[in-house]
Amino acid sequence: MTRANRPVDAHIIGAGPAGLATAAALRQRGLHAVVLERSDGVGSSWRAHYDRLHLHTPRELSGLPGLAIPREMGRWVARDDVVRYLELYADHHDLDVRLRTGVSRVDPTPDGRSWTVTLEDGTGLTAPYAVVATGFNHTPREPDVPGLADYTGEVALARHYRNGAAHAGRDVLVVGTGNTGTELAVDLVEHGAGRVRLAVRTVPHILRRNTGPYAAQYTGIAVRRLPAAFVDRAAAVVERLQVPDLSARGLPRPDTGLLTRVERDNAIPVQDVGIVDAIRRGAVEPVAALRAFDGDAVVLADGSRITPDLVVLATGYGQGLEPLVGHLGVLDERGRPVESGGRTARGARGLWYVGYTNPISGMLREISIDARRIALAMALRKREEIRQLRAATP
């Protein structure tokens, strides 16, 4: 039976790492999944990121089920190589990926035994199961800053930033102290920006990406299940050993524990790929948080007013799942799935989610684990449904 006329067991929404990994894991268990992707290529979110981006997790811990990342891509895989790997991955597993096929809504069928995905053109596709894998960083958060609409200066959103080549000699304020904001600040310095300031609302935890051959992710894996209070204390010691006190430069030590911050705010520690050195030598200047825009000026939380040539807003992303599944009662107060991995929400059996956690043990690693769990759960569910059908047949 060819792939074109083979019955579809599941529709997977999204052809990023989570969707492709789940499709491959299902294929390994003899299940046929069709991956539906809005864009014209796999890994669309990776294609849109800034030029200098690399994986913060090492190659050996970042491969998806059934295909390791090629060694020639290096230990810290670059953006373009991540995209190339995802293309290789889809080809290697002969995955059924339908590009330029956006999904607007997911609903149970009237009998409650299958799931219908409604495409953006109004077409409905039905299969016994469905998997939502549209990505953790799916919907850019629109900055909510007083005065932004009337600000007369230049503003760029981080999702539109590619590199600092066009900003040599300019005075730039970067807003946001996550991995994106700090990397963009370093990129601007390396491209010769005249002055780079970093607006700090919440002081980040900063760790070395690796110490010699030992990647920080290995520690994240080891401590993920330990009590937060213990990890917070241990991490504070590690941070003091790895990162110098930058208080005199405007960046004090964080006052909330590392794992507490991850669990409470989903704020992953910043991987140091140059930000510590840039702050130490004054190339990046931490300043107070952004409060408002006022005409041609930027007002900071300490009351100071500055007039940079460019403001870069690294305000993060949300999951954007409400239009897709918000009506099903399967999201928590933050808009994230109440269940993940091999579990399904009550009242929504047969509908899974993958890629909506951001743990310190590494997102790609957890995606691989959850993809295998979903494949096992789906295979067992299908087996049980077949058994029940046979038992009910005279």
- CATH number, domain with residue 303: 3.50.50.60
pLDDT score, position 1: 46
> Is the domain of 169 the same as that of 79?
no
Domain boundary among 252, 284, 315: 315
Q: Model confidence at 341, in pLDDT bands (50, 70, 90)?
A: confident
Instruction: Indicate whether 3 pLDDT > 80.
Output: no
pTM for this one? Answer: 0.93
- Which whole number is the average pLDDT over 73-90? 97
C-beta atoms surrounding 44 within 10 Å: 18
Angstrom distance (rounded) from CA 44 to CA 21: 15
Angstrom distance (rounded) from CA 242 to CA 390: 62
pLDDT score, position 4: 60
- Total count of domains within the chain: 2
Strands (E), 14-168: 33-36, 96-98, 103-108, 115-119, 124-127, 129-132, 139-140, 154-157
> Is the domain of 302 the same as that of 165?
yes
Angstrom distance (rounded) from CA 256 to CA 274: 23
> Is the domain of 64 the same as that of 156?
no
pLDDT tens, position by position, 123-150 = 999 999 999 999 888 777 778 899 999 9
> Is the domain of 13 the same as that of 80?
yes
> Is the domain of 80 the same as that of 51?
yes
Domain hosting residue 284, numbered range: 142-315
pLDDT tens, position by position, 376-388 = 999 999 998 888 8
Angle, helices 17-28 vs 79-92, to 10°: value is 20
Of 48, 77, 73, the closest CA to residue 159 belongs to 48
pLDDT score, position 347: 86
Domain boundary among 286, 315, 344: 315
Domain boundary among 277, 292, 315: 315
pLDDT score, position 386: 84
Average confidence score pLDDT of the chain: 93
> Is the domain of 18 the same as that of 56?
yes
